[in-house]
Structure 1
């Protein structure tokens, strides 16, 4: 082995990244990722523990302000600030095992959302769900699109890599015509880290618009914000 280490992922604002560097003899990795188009970066040394099969660090995250007047995702940029990065060697579950939750137990997981201004949505209180992760690693809700789950939340875990994916649908009054509604569908992504009872991830949500803004903001050009999703074992 030559120590070459490759990585790929998505930052908390949903931007994909990838990179490679050489792992030092002491288990340190110079972790540096430049986002596409120079939109920002992640940088810091990460520490690998080969015995425990873990990696950890506090990389600095910067998002550069965009010069594109049509940019919607954090146009003004942010950072630098340190983020808590943790990882562990992943092994697919054996037959009958679950990555999260107790096998065969009803309501063995919980799902929660926060940030991205999702708290202002009419259906925010309905996003928090208690669900069952079944033997196929899919979330089962008491009522897929009825009174128990009106936001049509879905979730599934890929047992091959621990990736969590899902979506939800929000319906809110149209700020330009309160007699009508606007529908927003958000996709979320996350990951199960072995040894951690909570799988965390992110979603991106456009604003409803603001008729009083100058210039006027609609759902088609409003700022897009990122939020947090957490899929956890139900105690």
Structure 2
């Protein structure tokens, strides 16, 4: 039996018998656009200012302007030694004595609060329902500062050099006056040598009160 050689050719596994047609090229995609906020030119940008408008009734809450009597203002208008009786007060030569009975503040007031920075624990309250006069203020200053200091008030100032200074002032003030020495330490002794009243000024905290000032000399 004669064998005949096969004329067909062998194909590799997985190969195709014919060439596949080429795939078409993908179509170009449409670009995706993002919105962009453009900066505002500073040349044309409006510049806004915040403005606070006053309350229509703001003027109703403002305290009235007060004018202090010249004898109570700071200056060489009066010589008032707080350790002496009010009858020893001396006014400047061109000032009539009757001016001491004039109103202390214009417009007149029925109450004044006077604060002592050296002695913050003691406040001077002047009251006169008919209108406070210069004499009322001077009288209340002397009355308040000539009060004796209690043991409790002495403890309030401890520990402090102020107590020792007050005791030294007390001894110097009463050395020649045994009667005055028997009355003990007074509030004015805490002022040391500052025994002359030199005037009032309006308090800086915005309150309706006054600050009192003292000096060693007139």
TM-score range with shorter-chain normalisation? under 0.3
User: Which of the two has higher C-alpha Rg?
Assistant: 2
Q: Give the TM-score of the pair, scaled to structure 1.
A: 0.24
Higher relative contact order (CA 8 A, sep 6+): 2
Whose strand proportion is higher, 1 or 2? Answer: 1
